[in-house]
């Protein structure tokens, strides 16, 4: 009797667990959006404003499950799996690496890339016009943008010939592709690229020491979407300390004290992410939503930083800036 009772108890437990899950799913009265990022304490505010403009109010008709690695990139896979287990309706991946982790975790839950580097080359989607699968969203311009960053840097540093590429998470597919594609423009300009990787605050100073030791006279910053504001500020302070001019495709760079920023308007980009969420919640499949590239670019110069590193920005470059920080 006792032996026969055990299977019955196990069956009862399984049925009970299934009932609890079913009840929880039935109890959900609003879509649950998973947001996977590398830093921060909440989803991007431009994204949230975009949702509000579309009629979504957190707690009323939409809910969020926010997960951040706090700068520990090795946690992306674990946190992506956690969002899948929560049966979220959509996963927002704030970067290439979280996008890859999310895709590995699920082939059915829609994934929207808030930003990404070469999603085709990374294997995230089959094509920009026809993504296929469950991934869509936005991308930055890859090697073409890298070439533009070099051009702008050379305009303010005419003797530019050795450029460090300071990359958080060296060896990632996104970083490798960026260097490879930017190398084409660098060779045409007579510039040698010096790839230098670091993981976090504990070794970013060593990366700058290496840049100086290898005689770099400029650098491209690639901390990435998962980098904290603290890390951006630390890198900006080290750039000033070493009198090394740097340019980035992230606006957080100049806002944190970096010299120059050129890239897609991030506030517009994150608002577009909200539009993707709206379309998917209304029934559009990710495979039918083309990957978007930036349509509007910003050029910002931190004049205060230029003065600190003893760099004079040519008047014709200043005139092209959308914003000058003094």
Q: Which CATH number fits domain 2-140+266-288: 3.50.50.100, 3.40.50.2300, 3.40.50.300, 1.20.140.10?
A: 3.40.50.2300
- Residue 212: what pLDDT? 96
C-beta neighbour count of 64 within 10 angstroms = 18
Domain range list for the chain: 2-140+266-288, 143-265+297-325
- The residue count of the chain comes to 326
Q: Which CATH code fits 143-265+297-325?
A: 3.40.50.2300
Minimal CA–CA distance to 219: which of 302, 150, 170? 150
Q: Encode pLDDT of 186-218 as tens digits.
A: 999 999 999 998 887 888 999 999 999 999 999
C-beta neighbour count of 310 within 10 angstroms = 8
- Cα separations (Å) of 123 from 87, 103, 127? 24, 10, 9
- Tell me: pLDDT of 20 over 50: no
Q: Encode pLDDT of 66-107 as tens digits.
A: 999 887 888 999 999 999 999 999 999 998 889 999 999 999
Strand-pair partners of 85: none
- Residue 170: what pLDDT? 63
- Tell me: pLDDT of 161 over 70: yes
- Residue 2: what pLDDT? 44
Q: Which residue has the higher pLDDT, 175 or 305?
A: 305
**pLDDT grade for 28, boundaries at 50, 70 and 90:** low
The answer to whether the beta carbons of residues 293 and 101 sit under 8 Å apart is no
Averaged over 139-149, what is the pLDDT? 80
- Tell me: pLDDT of 174 over 80: no
Burial class (CB in 10 A: 0-12, 13-18, 19+), 21: exposed
Averaged over 3-18, what is the pLDDT? 46
Averaged over 307-314, what is the pLDDT? 96
Helix (H, G, I), strand (E, B) or coil at 114: strand
Helix (H, G, I), strand (E, B) or coil at 74: helix
Averaged over 175-189, what is the pLDDT? 89
Q: Which residue has the higher pLDDT, 230 or 276?
A: 276
Q: Model pTM?
A: 0.79
Q: Encode pLDDT of 42-59 as tens digits.
A: 899 999 999 999 999 999
- Residue 237: what pLDDT? 97
Averaged over 145-161, what is the pLDDT? 95
Of 104-118, 180-194, 215-229, 249-263, the least confident: 215-229
- Tell me: pLDDT of 272 over 90: yes
- Tell me: pLDDT of 287 over 70: yes
**pLDDT grade for 128, boundaries at 50, 70 and 90:** very high
Averaged over 146-166, what is the pLDDT? 96
Of 11-25, 47-61, 103-117, the least confident: 11-25
The answer to whether the beta carbons of residues 198 and 206 sit under 8 Å apart is yes
Distance CA 110, CA 132 (A): 11
Averaged over 221-237, what is the pLDDT? 87
- Tell me: pLDDT of 226 over 80: no
Indicate if the alpha-carbon torsion angle 240, 260, 271, 135 is positive or negative: negative
CATH topology agreement for domains 2-140+266-288 and 143-265+297-325: yes
């Amino acid at each position: 009797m006792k032996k026969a009772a055990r299977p019955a108890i196990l069956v009862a437990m399984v049925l009970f667990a299934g009932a609890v899950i079913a009840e929880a799913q039935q109890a959900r009265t609003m879509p649950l959006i998973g947001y996977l990022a590398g830093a921060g304490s909440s989803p991007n505010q431009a994204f949230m404003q975009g949702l509000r403009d579309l009629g979504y109010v957190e707690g009323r008709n939409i809910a969020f499950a926010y997960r951040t690695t706090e700068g520990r990139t090795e946690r992306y896979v674990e946190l992506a799996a956690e969002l899948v287990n929560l049966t979220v309706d959509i996963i927002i991946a704030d970067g290439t690496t979280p996008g890859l982790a999310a895709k590995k975790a699920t082939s059915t839950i829609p994934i929207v890339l808030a930003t990404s580097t070469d999603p085709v080359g990374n294997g995230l989607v089959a094509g920009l016009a026809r993504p296929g699968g469950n991934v869509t969203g936005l991308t930055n311009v890859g090697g073409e943008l890298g070439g533009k960053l070099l051009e702008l840097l050379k305009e303010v540093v005419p003797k530019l010939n050795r450029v460090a590429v300071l990359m958080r998470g060296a060896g990632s597919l996104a970083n490798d592709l960026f260097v490879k594609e930017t190398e084409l423009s660098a060779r045409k300009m007579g510039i040698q690229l010096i790839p230098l990787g670091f993981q976090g605050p504990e070794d970013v100073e060593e990366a700058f020491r290496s840049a100086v030791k290898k005689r770099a006279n400029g650098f491209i910053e690639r901390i990435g979407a998962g980098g904290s504001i603290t890390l951006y500020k630390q890198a900006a302070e080290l750039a000033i300390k070493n009198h090394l001019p740097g340019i980035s495709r992230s606006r957080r760079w100049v806002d944190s004290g970096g010299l120059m920023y050129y890239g897609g308007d991030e506030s517009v980009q994150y608002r577009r992410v909200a539009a993707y969420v709206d379309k998917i919640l209304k029934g559009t499949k990710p495979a039918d939503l083309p990957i978007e590239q930036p349509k509007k670019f910003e050029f910002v110069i931190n004049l205060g930083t230029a003065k600190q590193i003893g760099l004079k920005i040519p008047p014709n470059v200043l005139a092209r800036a959308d914003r000058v920080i003094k």
